[in-house]
Structure 1
Amino acid sequence: MGNLPTVLDVAEAAGVSRQTVSNVLNAPSLVRPETREKVEAAILDLGYRPHASARRLRTQKSSTIGIRLDPITTDGISGSILDRFLHALTEQADRKNLRMLLFTATGPDDEIAQFRRLSEGADVDAFVLTSTFHGDPRTEWLIENGQSFVTFGRPWGIDDMADPEHLWVDVDGAAGLRDATRHLLGTGARRIGYLGWPEGSGTGDDRRRGWLQAMRASDGSGLSDEQLAVLEVAAEDGVTFGADAMRRLEQQAGVVDAVVCTSDSLALGALMATGGRIPVIGYDNTPVAASIGFSSVEQPLDEVAAGVLELLTGAHGGRVHPEAAVSDPRHRLVAPRLVVRDGPSVIAGR
């Protein structure tokens, strides 16, 4: 086996100094983009990987990102999204010579206790938060304690687009269900129902807004707000809840041409309740949607993971510095895409 490539090898291949290579690895914001690209190309070509232990001693950093491993959901459907995000994040972090440290927590307070333990022990340099919600105490603690972090999900309940203290990446849920509803309207459906989560869920409220926008548009359903009100039902997430919500929707609305849902779990429940006799579109494009064959909105998790790592390792370094003139946006809002399928040929009703 030949000798492993060194920093000097990378410097010679890129035509730069050894210090420039070191800056690209440890402080990329100091290097001009075109120079950084040359060095990164040389690193890739040579297969160079810095020695993690030596790097920690040199920078006094662990090169490690902490993230909570969410509990398994009861239906095992919607929870797969965070699993896929974690896989994408870990894979892309490895290419940047960063490590992921997984931990568990029973709730927000327990997660904060884990933040404290890991930061005091210098086990991690930054955190990634998922499943954000209104009044999230986790972000408050991280800000107060000067920790670097990025959230997958907006800091709901504040002016999240311009908030000076939060760095976040999210998928545009309103755009996703707006596209789904417009697709159904384009097929001739007019009375399009909506199955969503109870009000107060930032993510759920955002997706509901997309359905409403499409239904209220000049080329939409032509229904009044009063008529639209009977076409929506809120339910907890889960297949059984989705089936019950679909039955309630048909009882209160009468004729329903099609349904859009906040999750694939609710969508599967709706399909079971109707026996697949009307079109149903879910959200998350889980393996269940693909195997059964119903349409769903897909979250581009590779793009989300890339955005998270950009905010952690780029100009911001996981923290907002109001006194610094950093032009890089503090957030990334990623566009989802609608995956259209013919629908299940046969599905048993309940």
Structure 2
Amino acid sequence: MAEGSRPTLVTVAEHARVSRQTVSNVLNSPEIVRPETRERVLRAIEELGYRPNVVARQLRTRRSSVLGLRMPPASDGISGQVLDRFLHALTDEAQRAGLRVMLFTAEDDDAEIREYQTLRATTGIDGFVLANTHAGDPRTQWLCDHDVPFVTVGRPWDDGGAPGASTSDDGLPHKVDDHPWVDIDGRAGTRAATQHLLDAGHRRVAFLGWPEGSGVGDDRLAGWLETLTDAGLAGDAVVQRTEDSVAMGAAAANRVLRDDDVTALVCVSDSIALGALAAARELAASRPDRAPVAITGFDDTPVARAVDLTSVAQPVADVAARAIELLRGQLDARPDSPDASTGVAQDRQVLIEPHLVVRATSRAAR
């Protein structure tokens, strides 16, 4: 290649010893290219400094390569760290796929739908990523009705009487909708945390959760309850519900720990767990004769790592990668896409299992 000239698709293909179509596939549908070939092409792209002509691609495909995501309102500083990690991972994955993420704000679901209409009309935005799904969510219905590609980070949480809803074997409502979604298996996470505490010798394990009706919170509660049921310990199970904050977590823990038989707490979030940890430490100082309290959180935030809190880690990078994969699959399968014939079948609903990170706060029972 002549010095100073800009690398093209052809020069990348020559450098990697593949066809031009293979380079195009690596850029647009990498999942259909053999891993070793894909790596060779990516090395050639990096070595040559190749950058696709985005304007030409947009004119050819009639796609903006932009995805929209509503920025949720500010929340607790601890739990908000999970959102920060997700946004970074999603933006990174989108860029790897040749896409960009546009953030916008909206006061509620209806305002968010109005933003969908505006962005589709003014920017030709390709699709949307939805967060914070909930029962009766009107956003997914609007996007389906208007044939707009989207993926939700979170399952549908409609109640048992909603259209398309069904009930699981344990009586907990869930809805298997046809739209693509990616979610963390919160039930599996709290099952792991509860089993860890039982294995450590605890027999009275309480749950500190969010107010009833939170799909995510109720899912995590279900994992705790299932584990106690399997162990024959659900008969006197203790649940304390509270809002998601450190102060509220401390107050909830103080109420539960009036029962001296409670020696362990499974918390629905790190925010509540940190409050519970403060309450447990105050109790230990005032009543050194009482059995120490083991505590687990959920989210594995940097604060949890700093205070040595056992917590369930959410693989947010995996969630972001699968969300972009599901959206790209929809975009490439559209009739006006040049890659419509290269799409491959994939799961439309993805449940990703988290893992428990054991630290000092989940000590064995005395």
TM-score, structure 1 length as denominator?
0.86
The 3 A distance-change label for structure 1 pair 50 and 319 is closer
CA distance in 1, matches of 2:263, 2:6: 63
Matched, 1:236 2:249: no
CA contact (8 A) 2:65 2:98 kept: yes
Q: How many residues align?
A: 332
Superposition map of 1:163-312 within 5 A: 163-164=177-178, 166-217=179-230, 220=231, 222-225=232-235, 227-228=236-237, 231-251=238-258, 253-275=259-281, 277-312=292-327
Alpha-carbon distance, 1:232 to partner: 0.9
Unaligned ranges ≥5, structure 1: 346-350
Alpha-carbon distance, 1:139 to partner: 0.8
CA contact (8 A) 1:191 1:257 kept: yes
CA distance in 2, matches of 1:167, 1:250: 42
CA contact (8 A) 1:311 1:318 kept: no
CA contact (8 A) 2:66 2:101 kept: yes
One-letter amino acid of the counterpart of residue 335, structure 1: E
Aligned to 1:333: 351
Aligned to 1:348: none
Aligned to 1:107: 108
Alpha-carbon distance, 1:4 to partner: 3.7
CA distance in 2, matches of 1:28, 1:344: 43
Alpha-carbon distance, 1:332 to partner: 1.5
Specify the SS of the correspondent of 2:266.
strand
CA contact (8 A) 1:148 1:318 kept: no
Alpha-carbon distance, 1:23 to partner: 4.6
CA distance in 2, matches of 1:297, 1:342: 14
RMSD: 2.7
Alpha-carbon distance, 1:293 to partner: 1.5
CA contact (8 A) 1:167 1:318 kept: no
One-letter amino acid of the counterpart of residue 294, structure 2: P
Alpha-carbon distance, 1:342 to partner: 1.1
In percent, how many aligned pairs have the same letter? 50
CA contact (8 A) 2:70 2:112 kept: yes
CA distance in 1, matches of 2:180, 2:137: 14
1:234-292: CA deviations, max 9, x gaps?
A: 111111111111122224x4421110111011101111222174111000011111112
CA distance in 2, matches of 1:259, 1:185: 11
Aligned to 2:128: 127
Specify the SS of the correspondent of 1:317.
helix
Unaligned ranges ≥5, structure 2: 159-164, 167-173, 283-291, 336-340
Specify the SS of the correspondent of 1:12.
helix
Specify the SS of the correspondent of 1:275.
helix
1:293-346: CA deviations, max 9, x gaps?
A: 2111010111111101111113x438899xx9963111221111111111399x
Alpha-carbon distance, 1:182 to partner: 0.7
Alpha-carbon distance, 1:33 to partner: 4.9
CA distance in 2, matches of 1:285, 1:53: 41
One-letter amino acid of the counterpart of residue 154, structure 1: R
Specify the SS of the correspondent of 2:141.
helix
